[in-house]
């Protein structure tokens, strides 16, 4: 018994000497990351420049990179070290710029940094001490606010950077999506009994829908399924990078707009697309897109509204175009189309068989007369390059900074959790 007691006491002495005393209370962390000034460039390199957009830690915890960066910012502020803080903030902003410039074609990198820049911006607001951003904070989160420095100027720069990344991101996605729109929405015929082209059905997607330059020369043409798969890939990536759902919605809305505008413009220029049958096909495809939105819970994104003009064109192609009542209905239903556009479609309308008649010039005149009061631009085509203005409304994060640990595969061993 005595021996055991002696041994136990010896162990305790040893533990005290090596600071490994079994703690009764777990260590309380402050939610900051300490790093030596000379390690700043290494920090930025590891956490921004060389950080892979897909990794265990960053995928499990949305916005992890942003939060870890903010914890470093907090510590510099805590030390009341203005130079360190300024250097860090500028370093972060430059590094993000560098990454998105070097990898401007990379969908993954752009998605990742769009998400994390937005998160970082939100952190700066949430812990700024500004009351308007503190409404959803816990008591502890309020305690974690910045004490000594005001970073609102840097917030502005970051906001501009985020807008930049957004537009780059949209461009990359549009480049991938564009080749699919006309074949997929307009040309491919999937409806039963009226197909002249073999329906492709579900087609296995290549390993990267963004690496495959969408070159389908010689292989099967695109169908609406391909469009949906492309949207899927975009959406999955954004979700996995923890992008705020509201920002995801803005992205999807912009993409839907491109689909709608490109389709309308094509129809306006091609007589072969102006038939009743085409109208049916387009309505069918629009319903697939709508279903996809519902599946992904993106109805609040207002993406469907951007398909309004296309939807009305499809209706116009299908409806009877002979009587006065028809003309009145057209005026009523095609609210988003300009008179120029409506007239063009009526004139281009091509019957598929002998039973159908062309639209008579007198009917067209009737419609024109009804639309006279309507102010429409004289421009025939829609501006498919138009971009909705992106906004980054403040989003509070429930993440408790003092509970955040640093995953070891991020190789941040030179940084200390405080």
Q: Given the rule CB under 8 A, which residues bind other proteins?
A: 26, 54-57, 59-62, 103, 105-106, 108-109, 138, 204-211, 233, 236-237, 240, 398, 400, 403-405, 407-409
Other CB atoms within 10 Å distance of the CB of residue 76: 26
CB of 323 to other proteins, least distance (A): 50
211 or 291: whose CB is closer to other proteins?
211
CB of 402 to other proteins, least distance (A): 9
CB of 284 to other proteins, least distance (A): 25
* Beta-strand pair 416-417/33-34: antiparallel
Q: By three-state DSSP, how is residue 32 classified?
A: coil
List all residues 6 or more positions away from 202 whose beta carbon is below 8 Å from its beta carbon: 225
Helix axes 324-333, 361-370, angle to 10 degrees: 50
Q: By three-state DSSP, how is residue 417 classified?
A: strand
The CA distance from 169 to 85, in Å, is 29
CB of 273 to other proteins, least distance (A): 32
- 133, 411 contact by CB (below 8 A): no
103 or 159: whose CB is closer to other proteins?
103
63 or 339: whose CB is closer to other proteins?
63
The CA distance from 259 to 219, in Å, is 22
57 or 179: whose CB is closer to other proteins?
57
232 or 329: whose CB is closer to other proteins?
232
Tell me the two tokens of residue 392: 């980054």
23 or 193: whose CB is closer to other proteins?
23
Alpha helices (runs of H) in 52-151, residue ranges in sequence order: 56-60, 64-78, 82-102, 107-126, 139-143
103 or 368: whose CB is closer to other proteins?
103
Nearest alpha-carbon partner for 199 in 222, 227, 180: 222
CB of 144 to other proteins, least distance (A): 14
| H and E: helices and strands count for the chain | 15, 2
Residue at token pair 């057209």: 330
CB of 48 to other proteins, least distance (A): 17
Tell me the two tokens of residue 182: 């006309």
109 or 274: whose CB is closer to other proteins?
109
CB of 296 to other proteins, least distance (A): 13
CB of 232 to other proteins, least distance (A): 9
The CA distance from 256 to 306, in Å, is 6
């Amino acid at each position: 018994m005595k021996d055991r007691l002696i041994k136990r006491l010896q162990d305790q002495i040893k533990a005290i000497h090596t600071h490994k005393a079994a703690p009764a209370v777990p260590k309380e962390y402050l939610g900051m990351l300490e790093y030596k000034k000379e390690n700043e460039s290494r920090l930025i390199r590891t956490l921004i420049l060389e950080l892979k957009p897909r990794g265990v830690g960053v995928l499990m915890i949305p916005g992890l990179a942003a939060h870890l960066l903010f914890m470093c910012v907090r510590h510099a502020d805590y030390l009341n070290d203005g130079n360190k803080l300024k250097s860090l903030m500028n370093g972060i902003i430059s590094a993000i710029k560098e990454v998105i410039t070097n990898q401007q074609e990379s969908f993954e990198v752009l998605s990742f940094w769009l998400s994390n820049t937005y998160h970082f911006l939100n952190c700066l607001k949430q812990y700024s001490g500004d009351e308007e951003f503190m409404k959803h904070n816990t008591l502890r989160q309020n305690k974690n606010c910045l004490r000594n420095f005001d970073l609102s100027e840097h917030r502005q720069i970051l906001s501009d950077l985020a807008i930049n990344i957004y537009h780059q991101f949209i461009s990359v996605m549009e480049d991938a999506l564009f080749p699919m729109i006309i074949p997929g929405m307009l040309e491919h015929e999937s409806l039963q009994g009226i197909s002249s082209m073999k329906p492709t059905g579900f087609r296995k997607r290549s390993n990267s829908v963004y690496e495959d330059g969408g070159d389908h020369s010689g292989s099967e043409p695109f169908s609406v399924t391909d469009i949906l798969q492309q949207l899927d890939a975009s959406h999955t990536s954004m979700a996995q990078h923890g992008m705020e759902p509201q920002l995801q919605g803005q992205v999807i809305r912009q993409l839907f707009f491109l689909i709608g505008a490109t389709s309308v413009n094509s129809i306006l220029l091609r007589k072969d697309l102006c038939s009743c049958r085409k109208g049916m096909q387009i309505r069918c495809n629009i319903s697939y897109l709508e279903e996809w939105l519902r599946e992904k819970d993106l109805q609040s994104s207002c993406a469907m509204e951007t398909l309004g003009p296309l939807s009305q064109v499809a209706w116009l192609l299908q409806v009877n175009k002979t009587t006065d009542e028809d003309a009145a209905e057209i005026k009523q239903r095609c609210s988003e189309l300009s008179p120029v556009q409506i007239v063009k479609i009526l004139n281009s309308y091509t019957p598929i068989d002998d039973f159908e008649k062309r639209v008579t010039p007198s009917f067209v005149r009737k419609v024109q007369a009804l639309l006279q009061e309507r102010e429409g631009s004289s421009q025939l085509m829609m501006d498919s390059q138009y971009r909705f203005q992106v906004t980054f409304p403040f989003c509070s994060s429930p993440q408790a900074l003092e509970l955040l640990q640093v995953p070891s595969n991020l190789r941040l061993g030179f940084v200390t959790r405080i």
